Amino acid sequence: MADKKEKRFRFVIVGGGIAGVTCVEQLSSQIPSADVALITAGPHIKAVTNYKQVSKTLEEFDVEERPSSVLEEKFPNLTVIHSAVKSLHTQSHSVETADGRVFGYEKLCICSGGRPKLLTQDNPYVLGIRDTDSAQEFQKRLSKAKRIVVVGNGGIALELVYEVEGCEVIWAVKDKAIGNTFFDAGAAQFLIPALVADKPESAAPCKRTRYTTEEPAPGASQTFTADRNSRRHGSGPTEAGSALGPDWHEGIVLRGTEQVSRRVLLEYQCEVEKIFTSEELLNSPQQTLRLENVGSWPVYIQLTNGKTFGCDFVVSATGVVPNTEPFLSGNNFALADDGGLHIDDHMMTSEPDVYAAGDVCTACWEHSPLWQQMRLWTQARQMGWYAGRCMAAHVLSEPIELDFCFELFSHITKFFNYKVVLLGKFNGQGLGPDHELLLRCTKGQEYVKVVLSGGRMVGAVLIGETDLEETFENLILNKMDLTPYGEELLNPDIDIEDYFD
């Protein structure tokens, strides 16, 4: 490497996703005279548009894929380099790219995101969805498919199962309820009718204070079918690179070969035992397999509940693995249990002058009791922004404190066409039995859950147009003792905003 000509920058950011681009924007605005390089594997960058601060901690924005020239025009001292980083040399403060170039840095921020955690590597019948390329591949395969198996219970699986039409979907989840990453079994029960039909049902609000939901028995199945008239049209250009975001399925037709609109068979509390091809099935001594449907399929999936399904392909939607590989060799990075780069409250890794933000890193500082890391768009933006501020503060020798956005976990999204707002310890995470739940539910309209600990609100799940997010956020942040209000807190006849004015 010593004979390779090196170009030096004050700041080098790796990754053109939300975290990297936000970090670049922050640095370039704070120190306009500094040379900044953005090194990214993909040809496009991700830009945050229509940013809206909904409340103190809730934010909403759109994400667009843009040519990197847009960023270079905005920041004259920025150079965008389109190549993948293949190695990092923390001692000499330099990175080498796949096309053989070497770039030196004073401060480096790694924002290389994550990649799908696949059930098996190199199996042509197992797909992961991460970027536009993989989404297009999925669409292509789906257009010829009669039946697919979706494995996973996070946001991607939820969206996929809801959006796919004209193809039977076997959905294998390891939990007792769908959407376990985001909410509880009660919310799952509320959402499930949306898999049957998208006609909103109206009913009188029913106030429930006890958390009762019938959980399916281990290995149990549930089938849902629906006929939908709405269809999506059009297909945009695709580029590899950054993770897709909330509306990744907009503009692509997610349709199989069948006439049925939606048919979902849910298999609860099971994982994948084995995946094999039709030849392997024929030649294996496991002829005793409990095949759920006859017919010939290219691939078969055996679940831990003993059932085996044939299908056209399997979608592995079981989370992401941080993209750390190119940076590890020869360096001394501390890694968290989930494989992310360990970062402190200044977004610094364990290597000097190396920061990290977004899906690639794991926040290892002592978290606020109301915050947890989730690999989401909003957190990628917040981390990129704060990393940029920390890098600037460090070169300017200015003090900097952990940003307020890490005080309270907050997230707005859409599942099954419902607005979903999650606040704080929305699932009672880490609270043990030491918490109470208040619930209000109107079938097909709204689901409101409040988590109370020691009489104080510490989390909430709001599904539907509840308009409660700001008030609840304030109640959580104010740590007000709500014991005197009891169940009245969710009384639909009380205007809660006025109540606490």
Considering the rule CB under 6 A, would residue 349 count as an interface residue with ligand FAD? no
Residues 178 and 307: their CA atoms lie apart, in Å, by: 19
Instruction: Write the interaction track for ligand FAD spanning residues 454-473; mark x where CB under 6 A is met and - where it is not.
Output: --------------------
Instruction: Write the interaction track for ligand FAD spanning residues 319-338; mark x where CB under 6 A is met and - where it is not.
Output: ----x--x------------
Q: Is the dihedral of CA 160, 161, 164, 170 positive or negative?
A: positive
Q: Name the helix (H) or strand (E) containing 23.
A: helix 18-30
Measured CA to CA in angstroms, residue 344 lies from 90, 356, 392, 479 at distances of: 18, 10, 16, 26
Those residues whose C-beta lies under 8 Å from the C-beta of residue 265, and which sit 6 or more positions away, are 168, 169, 170, 171, 221, 222, 223, 224
Give the nearer residue to ligand FAD in terms of CB position, either 18 or 149: 18
Q: Describe the strand order of the beta sheet including 272-277 as a list of residue ranges.
A: 272-277, 299-303, 307-311, 290-291
Among residues 242, 269, 442, 445, which is the contact residue for ligand FAD, using CB under 6 A?
242
Considering the rule CB under 6 A, would residue 17 count as an interface residue with ligand FAD? yes
Contact in structure between 66 and 44 (CB atoms under 8 Å)? yes
DSSP 293-317: S-S--SEEEEETTSEEEEESEEEE-
* Alpha-helix runs per DSSP H in 226-370: 278-283, 325-328
Considering the rule CB under 6 A, would residue 244 count as an interface residue with ligand FAD? yes
Residues composing the chain: 501
Instruction: Write the interaction track for ligand FAD spanning residues 25-44; mark x where CB under 6 A is met and - where it is not.
Output: --------------xxxx--
Q: C-beta of 106: minimal distance to ligand FAD in Å?
A: 19
Of 108-116, 441-449, 471-479, 488-496, which part binds ligand FAD (CB under 6 A)? 108-116
Q: C-beta of 249: minimal distance to ligand FAD in Å?
A: 8
Tokens read off for 163 = 């959006």
Among residues 38, 71, 88, 111, which is the contact residue for ligand FAD, using CB under 6 A?
111
Nearest residue to 458 via CA among 429, 421, 490: 429
Considering the rule CB under 6 A, would residue 15 count as an interface residue with ligand FAD? yes
Of 11-19, 166-174, 195-203, 338-346, which part binds ligand FAD (CB under 6 A)? 11-19
Those residues whose C-beta lies under 8 Å from the C-beta of residue 178, and which sit 6 or more positions away, are 153, 158, 171, 188, 191, 192, 266
Among residues 378, 427, 442, 471, which is the contact residue for ligand FAD, using CB under 6 A?
378
Nearest residue to 107 via CA among 401, 387, 403, 400: 387
Considering the rule CB under 6 A, would residue 152 count as an interface residue with ligand FAD? no
Of 48-56, 165-173, 236-244, 298-306, which part binds ligand FAD (CB under 6 A)? 236-244
Among residues 9, 20, 343, 371, which is the contact residue for ligand FAD, using CB under 6 A?
20
At residue 319's C-alpha, the angle toward residues 316 and 323, to 5°, is: 110
Considering the rule CB under 6 A, would residue 84 count as an interface residue with ligand FAD? yes
Give the nearer residue to ligand FAD in terms of CB position, either 225 or 372: 372
Q: C-beta of 12: minimal distance to ligand FAD in Å?
A: 11
Considering the rule CB under 6 A, would residue 420 count as an interface residue with ligand FAD? no
Among residues 205, 216, 219, 245, which is the contact residue for ligand FAD, using CB under 6 A?
245
Q: C-beta of 304: minimal distance to ligand FAD in Å?
A: 25
Q: C-beta of 405: minimal distance to ligand FAD in Å?
A: 14
Q: Judged by CB under 6 A, how many residues of this single chain contact ligand FAD? A: 38
Tokens read off for 344 = 């402190």
Which residue in the block uniquely carries the two structure tokens 């070969």? 257
Name the DSSP class of 276: E
**Residues lying near ligand FAD in the complex (CB under 6 A):** 14-20, 39-42, 46, 84-85, 111-113, 129-130, 155-156, 241-246, 248, 323, 326, 358-359, 375-378, 380, 413
